[in-house]
Amino acid sequence: MTTAVETPRSARRDAEPPLDIARIRVDFPILARRIGDRPLVYLDSAATSQKPLQVLDAVDHYYRTSNANVHRGVHTLGNEATDVFEQARVRVARFIDAPDPSGVVFLRNTTEALNLVASSYAREMLQPGDRVVLTEMEHHSNLVPWQLAAERRGLELAFIPVLADGSLDMERARALISGGPTKLVSLAHQSNVLGTVNPVREIARLAHDNGALVCLDAAQSVPHMPVSVRDLDCDFLAFSGHKMVGPMGVGVLWARPELLERMPPFLGGGSMILRVELERSSWNTVPHKFEAGTPDVASAAGLAAACDYLDAIGLDRIHAHEQALVEHMISMLDEIGGITVYGPRDLAVHGGAVSFNVADVHPHDVGTIVDREGVAVRAGHHCCQPLMHRLDVAATARASVYLYTTHDEVDALGAALHEVKRVFGV
Ligand code: C6P
C-alpha cells in the first residue's frame, strides 16, 4: 500500500518551500487523462477534488482485507473494520485540531451535516422567535435546511449582506448578531463562488459575546487551509471528504461533544440506540447517537488516508500555492479583457475559486468551448441562487485550483478563453 509520510501539523514551518507539483501529480492517475487530443486541465476541484493513489489504495486495502460491518461483530473482521472506522475518527479529529474524537460524526457529506444541525439543534432546541443569522453568499446546503427549520419552528432568518468587493458587510453583521434574539450564526468559511475567506474567528467572538453559537460550513476551507476548531472557536463544523482528496460518500460534522449530548437524534435505526422497546428507545453515546445504520467504512478509511496525504504536504503550503495560482489567474483574466471577475481583489482573503463571465456569453457556452480545449470548469449558479441574484447574474463560470494545479494549466484556461472570445466574436 502506498502511504504518505505524516508531518504533525504543529511541526509545520512558517516559510515553506513551494510544492513539488510534478511529484504530486504522479500520485493522481486521472490527471494523465486526455480529453480528445488535449491533456486534461482540471479546474473544478471546488466541485470535487481528484484522488491520489494513497487514498485509492486505502479504500481498496480495506475491502480486500478487513471488510465487515462495524460495532456489531465479535469476529476478527468485524473488530478490524470497527478499528479502521474508529481510527479514522481519531485521525479526522486530529486533522481539524479537535480535542476529542467523540465530537466527530461521520455522515455522507456537508449537506447532511448541516441538515443535522438545522434539524436536531435548531428545529428541536431553539424557540419560536429565535433568530438564525446566515449570509447572502451561502450554498443552498447552508440555506434550505434553515428555511425548513424556520418554517417548522417559527424561527427568524436574517442575512448578512455581501458587499461589492465580495466581502461580508461586517457592520450589518455586528448589528444582526449583537443583542436581539440571535441564537445561532451559520456561514461559509470560504465561498464556493467568490472565493472569499470570511472573518469567521471575529464572527465567532461576536456570536459568543452575545450568547449565540456558530456553525461553519467548511466544505471549501478544510480541504485548502489549516483549520483548527479550537483556534476558530466554532461550535459546529461541516465538511465533505470528496473535496479534500478523499472518497465520495463520507462527510463530517464536528460539534462540541456537550452540544451533541443535548441534541436529539437526527435519524433513527440501528447503531444509534442503547435499548429499544416497542414503545420507546434510549440513545447510544455520542457520536454514535447520530450515526444510524451501516456507515461507509471504506470511505472513512480513505478519508483518514486523505488527512495523512494533505498533512504530509502541509495545508499552509497548499493554501500559499493556491493563492499564487489565483493571483496569476485574476491578472490573466484582467489582461484578456472583456471578462468580469467576481469576488475579492485582496488575495489575503481569497481562496482557490474564481468566478467570472466572458462578456455576455452564457457560462454554459464558456464551459462547453473550454472543455473542447481540455479545460474543465464549472458553469451555473453553483447552488448559490441568492448570491447570483445579489451579483445580478443568472450564472457564472468558475475555475478552481488545488494542490495539483500548475501555472501552465491556468495559462491553458487563458488560451481557451481566447478561443471563446473568437467563437463568439466578443
Ligand atoms: N459545492 C461546488 O461546485 P456536498 O455536496 O454536501 O459535498 O457539499 C455541499 C456544499 C456546501 N457548502 C459549500 C460552500 C459547498 O461548496 C458545497 C459543495 C460544490 O461548489 C457542489 S454544488
Instruction: Out of 282, 311, 340, pick the residue that ends a domain.
Output: 311
Q: How many angstroms separate the alpha carbon of residue 46 from the centre of ligand 1?
A: 8
State whether 190 and 329 are in the same domain.
no
Name which residue sits closest to atom 21 of ligand 1, judged by CA.
47
Residue span of the structural domain in which 138 resides: 55-311
The pLDDT score that the predictor gives to residue 253 is 99
Instruction: Out of 292, 311, 330, pick the residue that ends a domain.
Output: 311
User: First-to-last CA distance in the chain?
Assistant: 51
**What single-letter amino acid sits at 355?**
S
Report residue 90's pLDDT band, with 50, 70 and 90 as the boundaries: very high
Report yes or no on 339 lying in a domain: yes
Q: How many angstroms separate the alpha carbon of residue 398 from the centre of ligand 1?
A: 13
State whether 183 and 299 are in the same domain.
yes
**252 ligand 1 Cβ < 6 A:** no
Report residue 240's pLDDT band, with 50, 70 and 90 as the boundaries: very high
State whether 30 and 164 are in the same domain.
no
8 A C-beta contact, residue 341 and residue 422: no
State whether 256 and 379 are in the same domain.
no
Instruction: Out of 311, 345, 378, pick the residue that ends a domain.
Output: 311
- Range 134-154 average pLDDT: 98
State whether 278 and 403 are in the same domain.
no
User: What's this model's pTM, rounded to 2 decimal places?
Assistant: 0.96
Q: Please provide the average confidence, as pLDDT, over all residues in the chain.
A: 95
State whether 338 and 206 are in the same domain.
no
> What's 215's domain CATH number?
3.40.640.10
Residue 385, phi then psi, degrees to nearest 5: -60, -45
Catalytic positions, written as ranges: 383
Structural domain tally of the chain? 2
Report yes or no on 426 lying in a domain: no
Report residue 15's pLDDT band, with 50, 70 and 90 as the boundaries: low
CA pair distance 227, 190, nearest whole angstrom:
12
State whether 182 and 271 are in the same domain.
yes
> What's 45's domain CATH number?
3.90.1150.10
- Range 253-271 average pLDDT: 97
CA pair distance 4, 1, nearest whole angstrom:
10
State whether 265 and 331 are in the same domain.
no
